[in-house]
Structure 1
Amino acid sequence: MKMSWFSLVLLLLSLTINNLSEAGHGHKLRSAVVSGTVYCDICFQQDFSKAHHFISGASVAVECKDGESRPSFRQVAKTNEQGEFKVRLPFSVTKHVKKIKGCSVKLVRSSEPYCAVASSSTSSSLHLKSTKQGTKVFSAGFLSFKPLKLPNLCNRKPSVVADSKEYNTPHTLDF
Structure 2
Amino acid sequence: MSNFSGCSHTGLVMNKLIFSSIFVFFIIIFQGQVISSSSSSISMVEEGDNNINHPIEEYFSSREDLVQLAGYGEEKLSTVIVTGTVLCEACLHGESQLRAWPISGALVAIKCRTSKKWGKTSSAQAVTDEYGDFLIDLPSHLHAIPNLDRACSVKVLQMPKNAPCEPANLSKQKALKLSSVGNGIRAYTTTGDLKFLHLTSRPFRACRNRGASH
Contact 2:88-2:165 within 8 A present in 1 as well: yes
**Is the CA contact (8 Å cut-off) linking 2:153 and 2:173 kept in structure 1?**
no
2:108 matches 1:60: yes
The structural deviation recorded for 1:72 is 2.2
Higher helix proportion: 2
Q: In structure 2, what is the Cα distance between the partners aligned to 1:94 and 1:115?
A: 34
User: 2:201 maps to what in 1?
Assistant: 150
> Kindly tell me: are residues 155 and 129 of structure 1, through their superposed partners in 2, closer, same or farther at Cα, counting changes over 3 Å?
same
Alignment counterpart, residue 134 of structure 2, candidates 67, 82, 85: 85
Q: Please name the residue that 1:22 is paired with.
A: 69
Q: Which residue of 1 aligns with 2:157?
A: 108
Return closer, same or farther for 1:16/1:154 CA change in 2, 3 Å cut-off.
closer
1:135 to 165, 182, 185: 185
Bigger drift between 148-157 and 62-71 goes to 148-157
Which segments of 5 or more consecutive residues in structure 1 lack a partner in the other structure? 1-5, 159-175
Structure 2 residue 82 is the aligned partner of structure 1 residue 34: yes
Instruction: Structure 2 unaligned segments of length 5 or more: list them.
Output: 1-51
Specify the alignment match of 1:117 in structure 2: 167
Does the 8 Å CA contact 1:30/1:92 hold for their aligned counterparts? no
Instruction: Tell me how far 1:101 sits from its aligned partner.
Output: 3.3
TM-score (norm 2): 0.51
Larger Cα-atom Rg = 2
What amino acid is aligned across from residue 131 of structure 2 in structure 1?
A: Q
Offset from partner CA, 1:24-79 (integer Å, 9 cap, x none):
8xxx95320111001112139xxxx661122111221111221243322342x211
| Match of residue 72 from structure 1 | 122
Q: Percent identity?
A: 30
Give the 3-state SS of the residue equivalent to 2:130 in structure 1.
coil
Letter in 1 for 2:109: A
- Do the aligned partners of 1:31 and 1:92 also contact (CA within 8 Å) in 2? no
The Cα shift of 1:109 comes to 2.4
Any conservation in 2 of the 1:29–1:94 contact (CA below 8 Å)? no
TM-score if structure 1 supplies the norm length? Answer: 0.60
Match of 1:167 in 2: none
